[in-house]
Structure 1
Amino acid sequence: MKNADWSPKRWLRIALPSVLIVVWLLVAGLGGPTFGKISDVSTNDQASFLPASAESTVVRDWQLKFVDSNVIPAVVLLTAEAPLSDSQLGEIAALSEKLGAVSGVQKPELPATSAIAGPIPSEDKKAVEFLVPISDTGEIKTVVGDLRDVLNDSAPDGVSTYVTGPAGLTADLVSAFGGIDGVLLLVALLAVFVILLVVYRSVVLPLLVLFTSVVALCASILVVYYMASWDWIKLSGQSQGILSILVIGAATDYSLLMVARFREALHQVDSKWAALGRAMRGAWEPIVASGSTVILAMLCLLFSDLNSNRSLGPIAAIGILFSLLAALTCLPALLVSFGRGAFWPFKPKLSSGHEHKHEALGTAGMNAMTSNQVEHGLAGVVGIWRRVGLLIARKPRLTWVVTLVLLLAASSGIVQLQANGVSQTEVILGQSNAVDGQRALAKHFDGGSGSPVLIIADQDSKDQVLAAVEGTDGITEASIYTGGGRPDAAAEPVIKDGRVLINATLKDQADSDAAEQVVVELRKQLPAVDATALVGGVSAIALDTNVTAQSDLFKIVPLVLLVILIVLTLLLRSIVAPLLLIASVVLSYLATMGVSALVFNHVFGFPGADATVPLFGFVFLVALGVDYNIFLMTRVREESLLMGTHAGVLRGLGKTGGVITSAGVVLAATFAALGIIPLLFLAQLAFIVAFGVLLDTVIVRSLLVPALTYDLGNRVWWPAKARFDDGEKKGNELSLSGGS
């Protein structure tokens, strides 16, 4: 090994790490300022994430021809406990002019008219609503905030005020994402720092790892920002949050593997450059393989029909790419610059020998040859990983069978997973004026007020289509669009390219299951009246999103598994081992989703789950779970070629168990940080990934995979079994001779 150790010339020892560190500092300097600007190129409009072929998308394009602007309606609602008096109604009527004067509200086409519909009193006289069209959709949060200020300042005493509807809900959604830029990142970094501090008991090392993660994130943000500003990708608040967490977690994972190899090498050689050379030789292959696997898995999302999924693919892939590059360039430069000082105050010392205290095997019936193999495999392994290794060596089959049964039992809970989508009012978990307004609106008006079903029909069939719509259960009223703020039966309908627009008010809230069922019914009935009729609107967008997301799940899952199987086959040069590992990550995913379903339903009391949750959970858990498979099995393969599979499994587990567990805890903590954003989707994804990663590292990667590999022996490497048979013979000879 000494001949393979690299020691560059003195000028190169100074120049190489210095240049790499300066380059990454420059990248951080360019990418850092974009943190505050990335929200400017982010959108949270649900409709923009649907495929162009979706019926609701086609309707939305037609709608723009009629209204000639990309307006989002806000429902301004005022309610009282008792019927409103005439004086109160007078004060409320005067609000129309003040609301219309707010910057960003659509201005009337003709003087002395108003684009605002209202005031519209409820039948019980306890509520009044205005329909306020907002044209400045880029500043919707500001416009809605100004509308709420007007209401707070001018509404009559004793009246509660709300700005809800699509505009109000969108504004509150944007506000919920407000913590992503700063708070989320700080929470994630603090969690990583504390964990690394506890694990490595070093003040310096956590800072080096965090610096590596932050520069990787800066580079990712910089590239994603420009791609979004050039309209190459659709960036949403949820993609933005996932990117930050994914980069911090992945870069830290790859860094921990490099750090573990470097520290191990420092015990073997005196030169920090020789130690770095050994660390790079041992770590680059699993890091590149892990990163490549995750990148390819994320790029599989490009085959998704849902634009939000398709956009997340390249965004996440960019983040993983820079995590990979930073771990292989920036971190090694930092480690070799600090040397043993990186681990201060517990600096690694050069080992003087191989004397270790061993626990007695205490295994009745274990022959001398097997006993020597076990001792040889566990040489130098102490603490919990030695005890786990002894358990696997004594009872491998019992270990993996019991583990398998427990995971299958956990998987049974998946039948309770309710991933059919939830109403928009249930997406926001924190306090929301718009959500409260929707609930109040449903008490006094038809639930679909302000968010009508939109029907595009042929002008020659308009009367028949209108009659069919009015006769549909769940529709309270319908009218053909005549222009202006409120329908006018005496006015001529607006006709565009031989089509008319029909607005239909729903009895139930537009984002409810009942409203979606009305859309389904209209799409069944209307073609009999008008074969060209199209149904869209808020309810149709939600329905099409759920249907597309569920379709994506069955398309993307097999593709991701195939890509990972190919990568593992090339990496391990085996067929059996990759199949075993794929089966383990799928089982881990099913067990995680089973437990998550039970927790969501019976502990947190969530109303359901977004239809994209199973797919996102699968992609992240399987892709990241394979990381730990690769970390473990590349080391097991390396050791098995030298000492045989049985000893190699124990040595590989002993050498990687600590780093994999640490990486899992870090990744779980970073994803758990998503829970601070008060949105149902991110809270559920945070739990799924955090719990799933811990389950994977503690149970699957520590017990199931090693025990099953140990039980299969050299057969796990088929068709390259013969090479490991030779390793078994060499390992037997070394163990009998007391070699190490």
Structure 2
Amino acid sequence: MGVPRWVELVTGPRGRLAVVALFVPLLVAGWIARSHLDEVTSAGQSSFLPASAESTRVVDELTSQSSVGESIPVLIVFARDGGLTGSDKKAIAKIGGGLGGLGITGASQVLDPFSPSLRGLTGGGGAIVRGVGPVSRDGEAAIVALTIDAAERNAVQRGVRDIRNYLSNHEIDGVAVHVTGPAGIAADLERVADQAGKLLLFVTVGLVLVLLLAVYRSPLLALLPLVVVGTGYVIACAIAYLLIKSGLIVVNSEGTMLLLVLIFGAGTDYSLLLVHRYREELESGRDASEALPLALAGTAPAIAASAGTVIAAMLVLLVADLESTRWLGPILAVGIAVMLVSSLTLLPALLSLIGTRAFWPTRELERRPPPRVWSGAAGLVRRRGGTLIVAIVAALAVLACGNLIAHGTIGFGQGETKPTDSSAGNELLDAHFPPGLGSPLTAILSEDLSSRQLKRIENLPDVRLAVPGPPLRDSDRAVAFVVLDGDPYSGAAADAVVRVREELREIDPAAEVGGIPAENLDIETTNERDTKLIVPLVLLVVGLILALVLRALLAPVYLILTVVLSFAATLGLVTFLFTDLFGSEGIAFNLVLLSFIFLVALGVDYNIFLMARAREESAMLGTREGTLSALVTTGGVVTGAGLILAGTFATLTLLPLEELVQIGVTVALGVLIDTFVVRALLVPAITYRLGERAWWPGSAGHAGS
């Protein structure tokens, strides 16, 4: 049996050395670039909104027409039980002056309520208007405030770090102090994400190594895929770094973490498929020099189709308006493309160099009987296929009912599962000040604000206080800062923003509202529009790929339907777990879209592995027996691949960011349902019941059914 020329080159004596030699400098360059990746990722959220978003227009106008620009508020909260003393107030004033002398890049004037030079601005030491002021009504807490211009990369993170270092060196005995506000929260998110990224890499590598050892029981076979996947990951990070550094795309730390788990999960799956087929060829009595090329030639189409499906699904994200979603697509697509090339070149080259020593300590590779569990599954499909279909569809439909549960949404300022300095500061703010003071809205109106207009804004149902902002240059428009009654980061705040916008436009039809609560709302709204557009496009693209791979129209239809049903069941189960069982604040705003992309693309992967082998077996055995043979043959390897993929995404649950925890749980559970229920029982049962009709309008190409 002949093999393609490229297969001979990759596994041949000279070609394998050339492949390894080519990857070595790429690995070194990639490692260097990866070490700088965190320096170019973005943590802010306004930069991810489309230019048409109302909150983006507010930022743009402030940037061009005022000294406020992209200024992010920093709130330093001081508190003493029983009340701040006179010496406390003097010390706070001294700290305020010291902060002003730090020379923080992009920092505004420091406003503290006890500085003699600023008494006019702060109302003579903290005047309280409608319950809002820099000193709490109970006298136990005070706020020192400034802003940092976020236009320069990492300016907020560096500024907050300098402020915290200064405060730690100038402590006031008995006074608690925390740095919060949008800038403090953003800095903590960046720091937590950096720590989480290091933990994620360590845990993912360790987990994959343990699972590979359990699957292969061979140290070399466990290490080889890990080396290949690790190399592919480093090279993909280097490409991501170059794309971000050049300004072509914008990616946040969440994107780089998802890149890590996707590459390690999918890349290990591709390696498992090749090694499994290689072992099959060796067990049939072939020499390694013949078995490896045959295995590579036999698995390359399925691996390429699988990777192509994931790449195509990720590239559909390019149509998204939300930039964090749009640019996540090409980064993940690049990662899978690099992993595909590595799996079809570097892995076989290394296997060729090592030969059968890769299977050590096993000496003799003899054909093993199929595992009982998969023979039992095939027998169950044969005897009870119709019953299985009804029972599984009904069970998945019941789980999908969890999607009817009402829930909130997690946005900026929410979802940290680990205490931080900013979260402690928010607790102090909530205890002593109106919650909305932590992140006010910014309203731009078409004319100068009169006291009467400010009063009208303050009388709006969701508003505690409205104060005039700095004047705009070259514009007759005016700025007002609007403090909400409730938590500015909650789901209720998004509803309040909707009402404030509507009510402000009754006062001024040209009014626009921005600020963090408004950005959270605009992000949710944009994501909803993106989801409605992307979901059908992904289904269409994946369906076309399945039709091309399987050379059929009916099989792709029911394969897509099973994956969608599996996704709906998974999402319903996760919604119930997080809202009713775990008591979360809500569901991550992008959970539906991202988990859909991952589960549909990766779920179809396993169907491709099964159905490609089923078509191959059907040409000799007929569709029904060929499907059962494919189930038994691929059952072990696909299950192992599913466990590893689920495990890699499950590592996200170790992170202190609930958004990533929810994505990790959803994808891990979805992959397990696909692996053990949909691919193992439901798809074989449907294919067995349909028989030759599964390949309509074509056929499996055999003599008889």
Q: Which interval holds the TM-score relative to the shorter structure?
A: over 0.9
Question: Which of 575, 597, 613 is the aligned partner of 2:553?
Answer: 575
Question: What's the counterpart of residue 113 of structure 2?
Answer: none
Worse-superposed segment, 520-529 or 188-197:
520-529
Deviation at 1:640, TM superposition (A): 0.4
Question: What's the counterpart of residue 80 of structure 2?
Answer: 80
Pair 1:88–1:461, CA change in 2 (3 A):
closer
Deviation at 1:38, TM superposition (A): 0.4
Question: Which of 159, 170, 185 is the aligned partner of 1:143?
Answer: 159
- 2:700 corresponds to 1:726: no
Cα distance in 2 for partners of 1:720, 1:423 equals 49
Cα distance in 2 for partners of 1:162, 1:11 equals 59
Deviation at 1:505, TM superposition (A): 1.9
Pair 1:183–1:107, CA change in 2 (3 A):
closer
Cα distance in 1 for partners of 2:544, 2:296 equals 24
Task: Give the secondary-structure state (helix, strand or coil) at the position aligned to 1:448.
Answer: helix
2:410 and 2:659 in contact (8 A); partners too: no
Question: What's the counterpart of residue 466 of structure 1?
Answer: 454
Question: What's the counterpart of residue 444 of structure 1?
Answer: 432
Pair 1:646–1:347, CA change in 2 (3 A):
farther
Cα distance in 2 for partners of 1:430, 1:10 equals 51
> Which amino acid counterpart does residue 638 of structure 1 have in structure 2?
E
Cα distance in 2 for partners of 1:95, 1:670 equals 47
Deviation at 1:150, TM superposition (A): 2.8
Deviation at 1:109, TM superposition (A): 7.6
Cα distance in 1 for partners of 2:85, 2:366 equals 87
2:464 and 2:485 in contact (8 A); partners too: yes
Question: What's the counterpart of residue 32 of structure 1?
Answer: 31
> Which amino acid counterpart does residue 78 of structure 1 have in structure 2?
F
Task: Spell out the pairing of 1:328-407 with structure 2 (5 A cutoff).
Answer: 328-347=344-363, 349=365, 381-407=370-396
1:162 and 1:434 in contact (8 A); partners too: yes
Cα distance in 2 for partners of 1:310, 1:8 equals 35
Question: What's the counterpart of residue 153 of structure 1?
Answer: 169
Cα distance in 2 for partners of 1:256, 1:513 equals 43
- 2:691 corresponds to 1:691: no
Worse-superposed segment, 220-229 or 497-506:
497-506
TM-score for both structures, normalised by structure 1? 0.88
Task: Give the secondary-structure state (helix, strand or coil) at the position aligned to 1:132.
Answer: strand
Cα distance in 2 for partners of 1:478, 1:189 equals 52
Cα distance in 2 for partners of 1:691, 1:231 equals 36
- 2:513 corresponds to 1:535: yes
Question: Which of 136, 139, 151 is the aligned partner of 1:125?
Answer: 139
2:263 and 2:335 in contact (8 A); partners too: yes
Question: What's the counterpart of residue 410 of structure 1?
Answer: 399
Question: What's the counterpart of residue 214 of structure 2?
Answer: 198
Q: 1:120-169 CA distances to partner (integer Å, 9 max, x unpaired)?
A: 21111010001122246614334323322333333432111110000110
Question: What's the counterpart of residue 95 of structure 1?
Answer: 95
Task: Give the secondary-structure state (helix, strand or coil) at the position aligned to 1:593.
Answer: helix
Question: What's the counterpart of residue 679 of structure 1?
Answer: 657
- List gaps (5 residues or longer) in structure 2: 111-115, 127-133
Task: Spell out the pairing of 1:627-646 with structure 2 (5 A cutoff).
Answer: 627-646=605-624
Worse-superposed segment, 131-140 or 292-301:
131-140
Q: 1:676-707 CA distances to partner (integer Å, 9 max, x unpaired)?
A: 22001001111111111111101111011111
Cα distance in 2 for partners of 1:697, 1:95 equals 59
2:108 and 2:146 in contact (8 A); partners too: no
1:28 and 1:219 in contact (8 A); partners too: yes
> Which amino acid counterpart does residue 468 of structure 2 have in structure 1?
I
Cα distance in 2 for partners of 1:5, 1:544 equals 52
Pair 1:238–1:472, CA change in 2 (3 A):
same
Task: Give the secondary-structure state (helix, strand or coil) at the position aligned to 1:707.
Answer: helix
1:714 and 1:724 in contact (8 A); partners too: no
> Which amino acid counterpart does residue 126 of structure 1 have in structure 2?
E
> Which amino acid counterpart does residue 629 of structure 1 have in structure 2?
N
Pair 1:481–1:702, CA change in 2 (3 A):
same
The alignment yields a C-alpha RMSD, in angstroms, of: 2.4
1:425 and 1:438 in contact (8 A); partners too: no
Question: What's the counterpart of residue 253 of structure 1?
Answer: 269
- 2:527 corresponds to 1:549: yes
> Which amino acid counterpart does residue 266 of structure 2 have in structure 1?
A
Pair 1:475–1:137, CA change in 2 (3 A):
farther
Cα distance in 1 for partners of 2:436, 2:248 equals 35
Task: Give the secondary-structure state (helix, strand or coil) at the position aligned to 2:66.
Answer: helix
Deviation at 1:510, TM superposition (A): 1.9
Task: Spell out the pairing of 1:203-352 with structure 2 (5 A cutoff).
Answer: 203-347=219-363, 349=365
Cα distance in 2 for partners of 1:318, 1:559 equals 20
Cα distance in 1 for partners of 2:7, 2:263 equals 32
Pair 1:515–1:411, CA change in 2 (3 A):
closer
Q: 1:443-496 CA distances to partner (integer Å, 9 max, x unpaired)?
A: 2122222522111111267667534322212222222223xxxxxxxxxx4443
Deviation at 1:514, TM superposition (A): 3.5
Task: Give the secondary-structure state (helix, strand or coil) at the position aligned to 1:476.
Answer: strand
Cα distance in 1 for partners of 2:406, 2:305 equals 33
Q: 1:570-621 CA distances to partner (integer Å, 9 max, x unpaired)?
A: 1111111001100110011111111111221233221111211111111001
Task: Give the secondary-structure state (helix, strand or coil) at the position aligned to 1:449.
Answer: helix
Worse-superposed segment, 392-401 or 577-586:
392-401
Task: Give the secondary-structure state (helix, strand or coil) at the position aligned to 2:435.
Answer: coil
Deviation at 1:383, TM superposition (A): 2.1
Task: Spell out the pairing of 1:517-528 with structure 2 (5 A cutoff).
Answer: 517-528=495-506
Worse-superposed segment, 116-125 or 255-264:
116-125
Moved over 4 A (4+): 3-12, 105-110, 112-119, 460-465
- List gaps (5 residues or longer) in structure 1: 357-379, 483-492, 729-740
Task: Give the secondary-structure state (helix, strand or coil) at the position aligned to 2:589.
Answer: coil
Deviation at 1:176, TM superposition (A): 1.1
Deviation at 1:103, TM superposition (A): 4.0
Pair 1:5–1:329, CA change in 2 (3 A):
closer
Task: Spell out the pairing of 1:38-49 with structure 2 (5 A cutoff).
Answer: 38-49=37-48
Deviation at 1:287, TM superposition (A): 0.7
1:573 and 1:720 in contact (8 A); partners too: yes
Q: How many residues align?
A: 687
Pair 1:10–1:703, CA change in 2 (3 A):
closer
Deviation at 1:113, TM superposition (A): 6.8
Task: Give the secondary-structure state (helix, strand or coil) at the position aligned to 1:459.
Answer: coil
Task: Spell out the pairing of 1:596-611 with structure 2 (5 A cutoff).
Answer: 596-611=574-589
Question: What's the counterpart of residue 465 of structure 2?
Answer: 477
2:307 and 2:340 in contact (8 A); partners too: yes
Pair 1:103–1:263, CA change in 2 (3 A):
farther
Cα distance in 1 for partners of 2:695, 2:193 equals 47
Cα distance in 1 for partners of 2:103, 2:618 equals 70
Task: Give the secondary-structure state (helix, strand or coil) at the position aligned to 2:327.
Answer: helix
2:148 and 2:155 in contact (8 A); partners too: no
Q: 1:394-423 CA distances to partner (integer Å, 9 max, x unpaired)?
A: 2211222222222222222222263x4225
Task: Give the secondary-structure state (helix, strand or coil) at the position aligned to 1:479.
Answer: strand
Pair 1:498–1:9, CA change in 2 (3 A):
closer
Q: Percent identity?
A: 36
1:107 and 1:114 in contact (8 A); partners too: no
Question: What's the counterpart of residue 422 of structure 2?
Answer: 434
Question: What's the counterpart of residue 14 of structure 1?
Answer: 13
> Which amino acid counterpart does residue 703 of structure 2 have in structure 1?
D
Q: 1:4-55 CA distances to partner (integer Å, 9 max, x unpaired)?
A: 6999999983210011111112211110122221010011101111111100
Cα distance in 2 for partners of 1:644, 1:705 equals 17
- 2:636 corresponds to 1:654: no
Question: What's the counterpart of residue 129 of structure 2?
Answer: none
Larger Rg: 1
Question: Which of 705, 711, 734 is the aligned partner of 2:683?
Answer: 705
Q: 1:499-557 CA distances to partner (integer Å, 9 max, x unpaired)?
A: 22221222223212343233212221233332221111111001111111122221111
